[in-house]
């Protein structure tokens, strides 16, 4: 395949770079380089304001194909979206707090929602004003979403759903305005039957509670969310057909954002390589070979991501992508501390109990700790392999 970009893409590249350079000033400059895995707790206020700045520039929702037309955003081709994503990552622009709304919920509303739902929710996402989180996983039903127990019952007084249950590992729940929740709306139903895809506002005091989960890295990217009779504004798709909507959303989860992620990976790899070159282990041929392998695998992942953005992706492409980057990133975290040897076991500063997030870790130590979760969250490796085996290769289903 030809992975090169055309003249129109290169013109966009210059325009995107100029816009980002001119706008990453003042309070936004403080948020440059933060907000990614391991630092999502940093500069939240500035990053929320930055989301609105992106909305004013029309840079949110570039690939939406909504029947209602544009919602104030620029419309870019697929390669144009890749160009924007590359420039955004290259300039280390702030980690997005609107990713879930823009790249997961919005395409799902376009595919499965009503015109009224699109007109209600897409403009707020496009303006960077309404943030979303994802209510899928539960204790005892993480990668196996069909086992969820969160229930929703219609209130006969107003016809709205009341949601009761618990979700876990919910990214950005502490800052989100809305949550899309997969809940069981048919009493007695089992597995994927009887589920509905509900939209729940987060600011319902006494009905929605968010508890941050402190990780071994010292940060709290994930949360527990408890619903106690929380009101659901509406359901996307028909009642009881939430599984179809939820699976459609997961199929949209890996896309252009995968390429953005890989640019961040490349920057992390560069830091590890620089540390290796200046270390006492620089002459170690085994370690050198492993680092060369990491570089080669990252290039392969990029070509695979570009290929699967088009029609060649196939139904198993999202699972293949998750398997590739999850294992790669975890190995990079291991290499980040291995190249430093014993020095990697010492913290950059003594741990202070009064600090809620920091454990005195440097970037490489945080990378090592955070990447232990890469092969688990977002669908564990085991689940991804099952999806490929059963839905793509047609192998017999796993016995339950």
Contact by Cβ (8 Å): 215, 271: no
SS3 string of 60-122? CCCCCCCCCCCCCCCCCCHHHHHHHHHHHHHCCCCCCCCHHHHHHHHHHHHHHCCHHHHHHHH
Which of the 8 DSSP states describes residue 159? -
Using CA atoms, how far apart are residues 362 and 353, in angstroms rounded to an integer? 17
Contact by Cβ (8 Å): 148, 156: no
Using CA atoms, how far apart are residues 287 and 365, in angstroms rounded to an integer? 18
Query: Could you give the residue numbers annotated as active site?
Result: 253
φ and ψ at residue 86, rounded to 5 degrees: -65, -45
Which of the 8 DSSP states describes residue 195? E
Using CA atoms, how far apart are residues 179 and 226, in angstroms rounded to an integer? 12
Using CA atoms, how far apart are residues 366 and 272, in angstroms rounded to an integer? 13
Distances (CA, A) of 336 to 40, 275, 345, 348, 369: 20, 8, 12, 15, 11
All residues at 6 or more sequence positions from 237 whose CB lies less than 8 Å from its CB, including other chains: 112, 113, 196, 197, 244, 245
- Facing residues of 231 across strands? 162
Distances (CA, A) of 105 to 132, 174, 251, 307: 8, 18, 12, 24
Centre a 10 Å sphere on the Cβ of residue 225 and count the other Cβ atoms it contains.
Answer: 26
The tokens describing 373, both together, are 């979760």
Centre a 10 Å sphere on the Cβ of residue 320 and count the other Cβ atoms it contains.
Answer: 19
């Amino acid at each position: 395949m030809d992975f090169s970009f055309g003249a129109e893409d290169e013109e966009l590249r210059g325009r995107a770079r100029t816009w980002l350079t001119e706008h990453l000033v003042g309070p936004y400059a403080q948020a440059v380089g933060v907000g990614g895995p391991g630092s999502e707790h940093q500069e939240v206020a500035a990053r929320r304001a930055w989301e609105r700045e992106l909305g004013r520039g029309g840079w949110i929702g570039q690939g939406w194909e909504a029947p209602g037309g544009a919602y104030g955003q620029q419309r870019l081709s697929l390669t144009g979206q890749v160009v924007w994503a590359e420039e955004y990552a290259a300039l280390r622009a702030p980690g997005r707090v609107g990713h879930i709304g823009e790249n997961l919920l919005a395409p799902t509303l376009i595919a499965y929602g009503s015109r009224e739902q699109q007109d209600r929710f897409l403009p707020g996402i496009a303006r960077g004003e309404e943030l979303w989180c994802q209510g899928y996983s539960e204790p005892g039903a993480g990668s196996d979403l069909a086992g969820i127990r969160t229930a929703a019952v219609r209130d006969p007084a107003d016809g709205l759903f009341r949601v009761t249950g618990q979700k876990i590992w919910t990214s950005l729940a502490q800052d989100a305005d809305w949550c899309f929740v997969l809940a069981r709306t048919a009493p007695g139903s089992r597995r994927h039957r009887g589920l509905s895809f509900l939209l729940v506002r987060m600011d319902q005091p006494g009905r929605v509670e968010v508890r941050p989960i402190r990780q071994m890295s010292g940060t709290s990217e994930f949360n527990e969310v408890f619903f106690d009779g929380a009101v659901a504004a509406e359901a996307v798709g028909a009642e009881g057909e939430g599984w179809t909507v939820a699976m459609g959303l997961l199929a949209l989860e890996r896309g252009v954002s995968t390429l953005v992620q890989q640019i961040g990976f490349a920057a992390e790899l560069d830091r590890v390589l620089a540390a290796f070159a200046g270390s006492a282990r620089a002459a170690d041929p085994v370690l050198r070979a492993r680092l060369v392998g990491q570089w080669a695998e990252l290039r392969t992942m990029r070509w695979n991501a570009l290929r699967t953005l088009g029609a060649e992706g196939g139904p198993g492409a999202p699972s293949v992508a998750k398997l590739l980057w999850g294992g790669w990133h975890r190995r990079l975290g291991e290499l980040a501390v291995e190249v430093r040897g014993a020095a990697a076991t010492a913290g950059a500063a003594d741990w202070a109990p009064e600090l809620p997030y920091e454990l005195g870790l440097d970037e490489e130590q945080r990378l090592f700790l955070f990447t232990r979760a890469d092969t688990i969250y977002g669908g564990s490796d085991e689940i991804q392999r099952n999806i490929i085996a059963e839905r793509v290769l047609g192998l017999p289903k796993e016995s339950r």
